[in-house]
Amino acid sequence: MTVDARVPARAAYDEWSDLRWRLPGVGIAVLFLSAVVLALAAGEKGSDLGRLQEGVARGAVEQVEVEGLLPGGVSWMGEQPVTLHWTDGVGRYTEVLVINGVDPHEDTGNAGRPYVLEDPAQMLKTLDPDVDVTYVGRPGEVWTLGGWRVPGAAGWIAVVAAAATVLLLIGGPQPWRATRWAWFWLVAASGPVGMLAYLLLGGPLGLLRPAARRPRLAGGWAFVLASLVLGGWRGFQVW
């Protein structure tokens, strides 16, 4: 008996094609995208006082919100942590100490933190008298994720998505392109980048399936790769 070489070999069965595994993958992707959209829509990128001052001085920042102080000036003695919010391309924020009536160079446990003397509005208006400074109350629950200050809802969604990803990684079918340990290191070390890579390349969404069975990335090499990705992610946060 001969086998016609022109007939393609039957593809091996892949559990990721089952609906019971595809649906959790789609659900995690929806959670992931929801957290990203909410963070971008209502989040703020961490910055510093120098960037704010430079933006006000050149007229790029027209409005600043002061969170943590009551309007009417500083009437107390001591230090008060304050958050300044503004928009310069994207929403940005920075935290400073407002100091009144004490020596700012004394060791108060806040060495190295930026500070302003008395009311921040006065400091900003010396740079641009037309800048609009308003005082706002403390917001609801906020999280800091990857250098972004986001609503608490986005933080909780991200936590649920991350936990579901780990559970799927442990209990789901063998992932594509890398071992379970390799994908674990990629997800744990690089956060959202690793999660997105696992959903797209590891099998949960059934996309970009490898054309042939090839050796998979092992845990050790994945740890090295994840460290490099994490370094690039931290570089983006500094921007």
Contact 67, 139 (CB under 8 A): yes
Q: Quick one: how far is CA 209 from the chain centroid?
A: 28
Per-residue pLDDT reduced to its tens digit, 143-169: 887 778 999 999 999 999 999 999 999
Contact 88, 80 (CB under 8 A): no
3 has pLDDT over 50: no
Domain total of the chain: 2
pLDDT-based confidence at residue 33 (cuts at 50, 70, 90): very high
- Domain edge (last residue) among 114, 145, 176: 145
pTM (predicted TM-score): 0.71
Instruction: Pick the range with the lowest mean pLDDT from 69-83, 164-178, 194-208.
Output: 69-83
- Domain edge (last residue) among 84, 119, 145: 145
Residue 171 lies in a domain: yes
**Pairing assessment for the beta strands 148-151 and 142-145 based on DSSP bridges:** antiparallel
Residue 207 lies in a domain: yes
Do 215 and 131 have their domain in common?
Answer: no
Do 31 and 55 have their domain in common?
Answer: no
Which range marks the domain in which residue 114 is found?
Answer: 44-145
Contact 75, 48 (CB under 8 A): no
Do 24 and 103 have their domain in common?
Answer: no
Phi, psi of 166 (to 5 degrees): -65, -40
Do 38 and 156 have their domain in common?
Answer: yes
Residue 110's pLDDT is 60
What does the block give as tokens for 166?
A: 């780990």
